Structure 1
Amino acid sequence: MEHREFYVSMALIHRRSNLSWEVIIVYGPADHRRSPAFLQELRNKVDRCTTPVVVAGDFNLIRSPEDKSSANVDVPRMRMFNDCIADLALREIARVGARYTWSNNRIDPVRSVLDRVFVSVEWEMAFPLCSLRAVTRVGSDHSPLLLCSGRASPPRLNCFHFENFWLGQTGFVEAVCVKWEAVATSPPRVFNAVDVWHHCAKMARQFMRG
């Protein structure tokens, strides 16, 4: 395992294929005056790797104007980021599940694609059926990314679907209210109001599923 200012990395071995590769998790600086130092550190790391690599994380950089919901973009900075990715011969894994991966959570929010997964050509050749999904964002301004190598069926996301006909069932609303109030009075842990809300919502969903 290696730790530097802008990344942590770890060597992995895929037991079934005996393939070794390195995972590099990055966190790009929000202060864009430090972006050149971040990209140079990433260049140095990938250049030293002798195995396939996966580079993932919050880059705090965008690649094109379409990656941001506002028109306030820095073209030279985008070019610098794209040049770095091209020089390292990395390929971005196409993402499904969300148009953007970050939001500033304002009333009139700005949204951007700041989180990405890049792989080397050797890794992509070993896992040609790989896929990337942005899963539901809970309690964060970023959407988690789930990378699947494609060697097995991707996990099914256990989504809750409210059925409108439940509202027509006698006593349904009252029963849910009673369950919610009972759970709210004895949450397993309380850090803030959001924790209480998530716990109550989780238990209410389980109750409504029967």
Structure 2
Amino acid sequence: TAAFLGGYRLKGFAQRPAVGTRGGILLLWNEDHVRVESVQYGDYTLSATVTIISSNISFKLTSVYGPTRNNLKEAFFQEMKDQKPANNVRWLVTGDFNQIYRARDKNRPNANRGRIVRFRNTLNFCELKEIHIQNRKYTWSNEQSNPTMSKLDGFFCNEEWDITFDKHILHALSSSLSDHCPLLLANEDGPRRPRTFRFENFWTNMPGFQQVVQEAWNETSAHNEPYQRLFHKLKKTSQKLRSWSKSLFSNAKVQLHMALEVILRLDEAQDHRALSPAELDL
């Protein structure tokens, strides 16, 4: 599962298995960019020391999956307190907390005030502050026609982390795949994605594939050394296939991104008003 989700870039992983359908935590990372050490597994948390290779800056990362049952909340809050690192250690905490710390983080007036106070006290003890989401009020919906919505997911950090990574920004993405919306924490410029070649298996069934590969493979190479000639042929073939696939499938990709953008806009609208029947059907 980790290899399927992470692909060839995110080869490093640590996991806390789910119990039934809940409680699972999966941490994936690119070993070319970060070093992850000292992984610790708790009942509701997975923590590790993360070092950015290019700068040698380290911080503690804690991923959480908070329990839904009220009688387990206190154990969850205590485990968060136990994870608090020593002074001057940068700390970033993220995940599905299954808990709000402010009444306005739920669109219903029936929030449990006692649990809110206990969670807020936990955050204060841990000296954590929220990294605010730029474009959404809530991160979860029960997806009913008149939905209950809450901000159950988020990022919190201590002062040391915030000062070191002072150009971060947090955005919610489209909730097209889940009743929770994904969150993307990045620097102001956004994540840099290297241009890489990915071969798609369905290409072989598309008209023109064989011709593109044959023409690229048969191009004259100035290299005599066998390995260099092979590298040249593979490089030329990947370039030709990339151009061919872009012209063939660009419209489908545009439509996909348009659909995700529409869903995100409806997510944002639902934070402030009920969606119309036509919008729900869409």
Shift of 1:108: 1.7
Hey, what does 2:69 align to over in structure 1? 31
Alpha carbons 2:85, 2:91 under 8 Å: kept: no
Asked if 1:53 corresponds to 2:94, the answer is no
User: What's the secondary structure of 2:54's corresponding residue?
Assistant: coil
1:48-197 correspondence runs (5 A): 51-150=89-188, 153-155=189-191
Shift of 1:87: 1.1
* Cα shift readout 1:181-202 (whole Å, capped 9, x = no counterpart): xxxxxxxxxxxxxxxxxxxxx9
Higher alpha-carbon Rg:
2
Separation in structure 2 between the aligned mates of residue 50 and residue 10 of structure 1, nearest angstrom: 16
Matched residue type, 1:69:
N
Matching residue within 58, 67, 81 for 1:43: 81
Alpha carbons 1:97, 1:135 under 8 Å: kept: no
* TM-score (norm: length of structure 1): 0.71
* Cα shift readout 1:71-112 (whole Å, capped 9, x = no counterpart): 111111111111110111111101112221000112221000
Alpha carbons 1:131, 1:148 under 8 Å: kept: yes
Structure 1 alignment gaps of length 5 or more: 157-201
Separation in structure 2 between the aligned mates of residue 104 and residue 78 of structure 1, nearest angstrom: 20
After superposition, the Cα gap between the structure-2 partners of 1:109 and 1:16, relative to the gap in structure 1 and judged at 3 Å, is same
* TM-score (norm: length of structure 2): 0.53
Q: Considering only aligned residues, what root-mean-square deviation do their CA atoms show, in Å?
A: 2.3
Matched residue type, 1:13:
T
Hey, what does 1:20 align to over in structure 2? 58
Separation in structure 2 between the aligned mates of residue 2 and residue 49 of structure 1, nearest angstrom: 19
User: What's the secondary structure of 1:125's corresponding residue?
Assistant: helix
Shift of 1:15: 2.2
Identity of aligned residues (%): 31
Aligned length: 162
Q: Which has the higher contact order (CA 8 A, sep 6+)?
A: 1
Separation in structure 2 between the aligned mates of residue 208 and residue 131 of structure 1, nearest angstrom: 27
Structure 1 outlier segments of 4+, above 6 Å: none
